């Protein structure tokens, strides 16, 4: 019950008043420690401005819908963990402030608030951008504040908010921005401070001509993009323009009509068969030998048959697949360097999939020697592998966060996970290798890289390769086989990560855990793993040449 029948506005010493400037009826109930609203509040049918900030409200009663003329509503610093459905009945709302609550979702009925111009959802608990906001009925929305949530990406449908002028997304976990953000041509201010973004969409500067304020402090952009952003929008437009003209002239980018009707979007060219080399480095195949019945028969697919599933998917996607198993750390480096020396001029991309032991930002071979992920990726940088310059290079890593010499643990085992001397510092504590910032730069300072890392926590019970594949690899390559030809690869990976986060993993202490995969991307364009039958000529308004 969200109404207090024993409490009135008079008992609280509160009186509605008229604004001296606009003459609208207002009421201040902020800082009142209110848990339930006074019963006579809903008799104020002409109320247009209501301040309920800093109270202890966790729901709103149905009677709240009687305030039909309400235009400004403040509900900041309360205890809402779900969006009050009754708010969708207040169709006269122009400004709605809901910051500093615990909201996770927005109902689709919010599209009924067709007069809404300002919406503040900062300091809440959104893991995903509310798709309910991506509705053309909200065409008057000009200011959207979503700072300090847990967003990892924006949906392509965000471009439906074409009237948006101010967009605040600081202090989230955004790993990439969709190309469709370039369609929000009325944007004047975009705040992206403290997000793990490595790049911006290629036509960001050219399309967003009205954008005057771009704040990206704390974003670890690749160089020289960072220098251009720091100098301002003019510098960014010049920098991106040079790159785009180069790729257009060389035919490495084409423009694809989107099924959602959002127009043409720049995409990496995918014309060749095979489309490129795909390397699978499987250093976990030995786990398969441990998954046997007592009579010695293999009860689940062996390590080889499991990794062959990857090979099958990549062959279907048109790759020239190279399978490598049990490589020592230096052998991993040597194998990738050898591939980088090949001529990739007639290929469109590269893919590397690594299953191994390791730590945050590192891969550990069977010899116990660690290699930085960034070191492996830099082998294919523009300087080291010129024939892959301006072409997408994809790295998918599934890493068991433990040393290869650690024995597998069963659910009934006691104590903490095995820790080897390599993971201990002088004080006997677990080293920082396993606790580094997951947003630290792992990709090179170069365009056209995609890295996804799924770190299986050290306490997880993983006794077979089947377990490891079920956690991430099967989900990833299953969705790639199904959708990679139809959807942008980043959208596919984001869907994979959303599903993987819901998988609970048994741990030695019985509490359970989950994988929280990360994405680091410097891809300039959309990437579809398909061969287009026809190429779309880009519109002349952008001054782009046909590929």
What is the tens place of the pLDDT at every residue in 191-228? 999 999 999 999 999 999 999 999 999 999 998 899 99
Residue 247 inside a domain? The answer is: no
- Report the pLDDT averaged over residues 369-387: 95
Number of domains in the chain: 2
Does residue 252 belong to any structural domain of this protein? no
Residue 177 inside a domain? The answer is: no
Three-state secondary structure of 213-251: EEECCCCCCCCCHHHHHHHCHHHHHHHHHHHHHHHHHHC
In a domain, 269, yes or no: no
Residue 268 in tokens: 């990496």
The alpha carbon of residue 61 and the mean position of all alpha carbons in its chain are separated, in whole angstroms, by 35
CATH of the domain at 508: 3.40.50.1460
| Confidence class for position 327, pLDDT limits 50, 70, 90 | very high
The CATH number of residue 19's host domain is 3.80.10.10
pLDDT band at 405 (very low <50, low <70, confident <90, very high): low
pLDDT band at 415 (very low <50, low <70, confident <90, very high): very low
Whether residue 312 sits in one domain with residue 459: yes
173's CB contacts (< 8 A; 6+ apart) are: 150, 151, 152, 195, 196, 439
More confident residue, 532 or 480: 480
Tokens of 530: 């398909």
Residue 535 pLDDT exceeds 50: no
Q: Encoding tokens for residue 330?
A: 């230096």
Show which of 124, 150, 176 is a domain's final residue. Answer: 150
21 falls within a domain: yes
Same domain, 315 and 463: yes
Task: Indicate whether 371 and 511 sit together in one domain.
Answer: yes
Listing DSSP states for 486-542 in one string gives TS-HHHHHHHHHHHHTT--B-BTTSS-B----EEEE---SB--SS--SSPBPPPGGG
What pTM did the predictor assign?
A: 0.84
Say what the pLDDT of residue 409 is. 39
Whether residues 145 and 284 share a domain: the answer is: no
The SS3 of residue 312 is helix
pLDDT, averaged across the chain:
84
Least confidently predicted of 71-85, 219-233, 253-267: 253-267
pLDDT at 512: 81
Using the predicted structure, report yes or no on whether residue 7 has a pLDDT greater than 90: no
Domain assignment present for 500? yes
Q: Is residue 125 part of a domain?
A: yes
pLDDT of residue 429: 38
> Is it the case that residue 489 has pLDDT exceeding 80?
yes
Mean pLDDT across 439-460 = 86
- Which residue has better confidence, 462 or 291? 462
pLDDT(161) > 70: yes
2 vs 92, higher pLDDT? 92
Q: Which of 133, 150, 167 is the last residue of a domain?
A: 150
Name all contacts of 186-190 with Cβ < 8 Å and 24+ positions apart.
Answer: 186/162, 186/210, 187/211, 188/212, 188/213, 189/165, 189/213, 189/214, 190/214, 190/215
Q: What is the mean pLDDT of residues 322-335?
A: 93
- Domain carrying residue 119: 3-150
Considering the domain boundaries, does residue 310 fall inside one?
yes
What residues contact 521, with CB distance under 8 A and at least 6 apart?
Answer: 175, 176, 198, 199, 443, 449, 450, 451, 490
Q: Are residues 286 and 425 in the same domain?
A: yes
- CB burial of residue 166 (10 Å; 0-12, 13-18, 19+): middle
What pLDDT score does 350 carry? 97
In this predicted structure, the answer to whether residue 532 has a pLDDT above a threshold of 50 is: no
Identify which has the larger pLDDT, 416 or 7. 7
Choose one of 150, 170, 185: the last residue of a domain.
150
């Amino acid at each position: 019950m969200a109404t207090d029948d024993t409490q009135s506005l008079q008992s609280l010493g509160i009186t509605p008043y008229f604004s001296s400037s606009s003459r609208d009826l207002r009421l201040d109930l902020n800082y009142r420690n209110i848990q339930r609203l006074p019963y006579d509040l809903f008799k104020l049918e002409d109320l247009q401005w209501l301040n309920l900030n800093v109270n202890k409200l966790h729901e709103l009663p149905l009677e709240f819908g009687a305030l039909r003329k309400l235009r400004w509503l403040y509900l900041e610093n309360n205890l809402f963990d779900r969006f009050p459905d009754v708010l969708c009945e207040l169709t006269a709302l122009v400004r709605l402030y809901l910051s500093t609550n615990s909201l996770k979702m927005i109902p689709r009925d919010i599209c009924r608030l067709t007069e809404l111009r300002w919406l503040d959802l900062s300091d809440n608990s959104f893991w995903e951008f509310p798709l309910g906001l991506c509705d053309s009925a909200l065409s008057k929305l000009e200011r959207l504040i979503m700072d300090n949530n847990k967003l990892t990406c924006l949906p392509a449908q965000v471009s439906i908010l074409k009237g948006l002028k101010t967009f605040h997304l600081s202090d989230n976990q955004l790993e990439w921005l969709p190309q469709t953000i370039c369609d929000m041509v009325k944007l004047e201010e975009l705040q992206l401070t403290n997000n793990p973004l490595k790049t911006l969409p290629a036509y960001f500067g050219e399309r967003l001509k009205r954008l005057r304020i771009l704040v990206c402090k704390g974003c670890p952009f690749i160089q020289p993009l960072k220098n251009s952003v720091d100098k301002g929008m003019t510098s960014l437009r010049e920098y991106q323009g040079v790159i785009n003209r180069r790729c257009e002239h060389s035919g490495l980018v084409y423009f694809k009509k989107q099924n959602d009707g959002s127009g043409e979007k720049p995409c990496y060219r995918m014309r060749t068969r095979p489309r490129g080399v795909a390397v699978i480095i499987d250093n976990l195949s030995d786990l398969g030998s441990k998954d046997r019945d007592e009579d010695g028969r293999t009860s689940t697919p062996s390590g080889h048959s499991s990794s062959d599933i990857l090979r099958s998917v990549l062959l279907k996607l048109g790759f020239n697949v190279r399978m490598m198993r049990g490589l020592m750390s230096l052998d991993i480096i040597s194998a990738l360097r050898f591939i980088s020396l090949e001529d990739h001029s007639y290929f469109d991309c590269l893919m590397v999939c690594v299953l191994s032991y390791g730590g945050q930002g590192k891969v550990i071979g069977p010899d116990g020697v660690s290699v930085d992920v960034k070191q492996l990726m830099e082998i294919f940088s523009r300087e080291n592998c010129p024939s892959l310059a301006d072409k997408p290079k994809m790295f998918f890593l599934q890493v068991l966060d433990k040393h290869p010499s650690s024995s597998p643990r069963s659910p009934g085992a006691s104590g903490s996970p095995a820790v080897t001397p390599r993971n201990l510092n002088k004080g006997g504590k677990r080293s920082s290798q396993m606790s580094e910032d997951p947003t630290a730069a792992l990709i090179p300072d170069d365009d056209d890289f995609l890295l996804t890392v799924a770190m299986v926590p050290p306490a997880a019970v993983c006794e077979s390769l089947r377990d490891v594949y079920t956690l991430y690899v099967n989900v990833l390559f299953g969705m790639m086989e199904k959708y990679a030809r139809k959807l942008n690869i980043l959208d596919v990976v984001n869907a994979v990560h959303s599903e993987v986060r819901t998988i609970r993993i048994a741990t030695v202490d019985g509490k359970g855990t989950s994988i929280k995969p990360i994405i680091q991307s410097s891809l300039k364009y959309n990437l579809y793993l398909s061969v287009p039958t026809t190429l779309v000529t880009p519109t002349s308004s952008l001054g782009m040449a046909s590929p």
